[in-house]
């Protein structure tokens, strides 16, 4: 009997509550804009915060509710922007893709000078607390891996020398590594800009040259500042800084840099292009000369023929 009562009472209670809740959910139904749900589905869902909102759903809400710019999703890229534009019925103004650039070439096994061997907690933040970090350069990479840990897209990895390499394809420009690096070595730069000053040392030239294990410190010689045709390089506290808005990727600064602190990935491409252009010009010249020779030969033969005819 008790079993029956138990089942009956709990069943009836549950039924009453269920019906009550069903009624309440109808009565207190909140209309949610279907656009928000659609946009939330399109967004990558990594909740990286690059757009400046706490998570993808929050971003979707402000797009619909407060007409927020739709080009702020860094991980999504152009594809996502186009899709959101379709839903919202507005023109897409595509965001310039930015990727992370590490402004230091030191920090590997072979190219770092160490003050002491660090055996503490394996994060950069902890390492730089111990007498300014294990590496001699007070501004350089400390050879722990906070940036790699911070990257949600597996876009930073180590090469055989223990150097951090940023994968251009995978990097979405979310900026997680920028905030993770305690030495502020990483910056988000438009993917179109290829020439970078890969040093962050504000030491004087003589000092930075000595402490840099890679021997690629900026020694503040100002050669690049003088060479730049667009005045796109500035000296800030003994460090050359490229003003990316003005930079045209010409690579002349990299050519004059005595320490190779300025890196120009297009150097080889440019050299090849130059060589090709030169070869082309040479070939054209040769052809011209050959033609001329042929013509003179023809003329000569025709002259000879004429002379023969005349005679």
Partner 1 sequence: MEFVAKIFAMAIAAIFVQNFVLMRFLGLCPYIGVSKKLDSALGMGMAVIFVMTMASTFTWLIQTFLLVPLKIEFLQTIAFILTIASLVQLVEMIIQKTAPALYKALGVFLPLITTNCAVLGVAILNINEKYSFIEAILNGFFAGLGFTLVLLLMAGIRERLDRAELPSSMRGMPIAMIVAGCMALAFLGFSGLKI
Binding footprint of partner 1 on the chain (CB under 8 A): 2, 5-6, 9-10, 13-14, 17, 20-21, 24-25, 28-30
In this complex, which beta carbon is closest to partner 1, that of residue 54 or of residue 265? 54
Residue 150 Cβ vs partner 1, minimum distance, rounded to whole Å = 20
Residue with Cβ nearer partner 1 (5 or 268):
5
Closer CB to partner 1, residue 29 or residue 66? 29
Give the nearer residue to partner 1 in terms of CB position, either 5 or 307. Answer: 5
Residue 17 or residue 114: which is nearer to partner 1 going by CB? 17
Specify the residue, 24 or 279, whose C-beta has the smaller distance to partner 1: 24
Q: Which is nearer to partner 1, 32 or 271 (CB)?
A: 32
What does the longest C-alpha to C-alpha distance in the chain come to? Answer: 145
DSSP secondary structure of the chain: -HHHHHHHHHHHHHHHHHHHHHHHHHHTPPP--HHHHHHHHHS------TTSSSSHHHHHHHHHHH---S---TTTHHHHHHHHHHHHTS---PPPPEEEEE--S--SSSS--BSS---S-SSHHHHTTTTT-SBS-SSS--S--HHHHH-SSS-EEE-TTS-EEE-TTT-----HHHHH-TT--EEEEETT---EE-----S-HHHHHHH-TTS-------HHHHH-TT--EEE-SS-EEE-TTT-----HHHHH-TT--EE-TTHHHHHHHHHHHHHHHHHHHHHHHHHHHHHHHHHHHHHHHHHHHH-
Separation between Cα atoms, residue 302 and residue 256, nearest integer Å: 57
CB of 17 to partner 1, least distance (A): 4
Dihedral over Cα of 153, 183, 101, 273: its sign:
negative
Which of 16/275 has CB closer to partner 1? 16
Q: How far is the CB of 133 from partner 1 (least distance, A)?
A: 18
- In angstroms, rounded to a whole number, what is the distance separating the alpha carbons of residues 57 and 53? 9
């Amino acid at each position: 009997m008790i079993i029956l009562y138990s089942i009956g009472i709990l069943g009836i209670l549950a039924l009453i509550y269920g019906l009550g809740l069903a009624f309440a959910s109808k009565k207190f139904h909140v209309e949610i804009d279907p656009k928000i749900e659609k946009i939330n589905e399109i967004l990558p869902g990594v909740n990286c915060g690059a757009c400046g909102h706490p998570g993808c759903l929050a971003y979707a809400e402000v797009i619909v509710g407060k007409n927020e710019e739709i080009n702020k999703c860094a991980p999504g890229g152009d594809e996502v922007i186009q899709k959101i534009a379709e839903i919202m019925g507005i023109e897409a103004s595509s965001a310039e893709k930015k990727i992370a650039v590490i402004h230091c070439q030191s920090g590997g096994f072979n190219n770092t000078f160490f003050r002491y061997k660090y055996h503490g907690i394996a994060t950069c933040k902890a390492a730089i607390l111990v007498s300014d970090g294990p590496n001699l350069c007070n501004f350089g990479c400390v050879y722990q891996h906070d940036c790699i840990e911070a990257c949600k897209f597996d876009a930073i990895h180590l090469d055989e020398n223990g150097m951090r390499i940023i994968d251009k394809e995978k990097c979405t420009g979310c900026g997680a590594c920028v905030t993770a690096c305690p030495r502020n070595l990483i910056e988000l730069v438009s993917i179109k800009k290829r020439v970078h000053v890969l040093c962050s040392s504000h030491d004087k030239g003589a000092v930075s040259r000595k402490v840099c294990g890679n021997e690629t410190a900026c020694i503040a010689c100002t050669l690049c500042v003088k060479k730049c045709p667009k005045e796109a390089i500035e000296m800030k506290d003994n460090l050359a800084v490229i003003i990316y808005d003005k930079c045209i990727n010409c690579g002349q600064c990299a050519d004059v840099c005595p320490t190779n602190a300025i890196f120009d990935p297009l150097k080889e491409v440019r050299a090849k292009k130059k060589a090709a252009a030169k070869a082309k010009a040479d070939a054209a010249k040769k052809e011209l000369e050959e033609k001329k020779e042929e013509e003179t030969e023809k003329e000569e033969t025709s002259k000879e023929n004429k002379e023969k005819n005349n005679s």
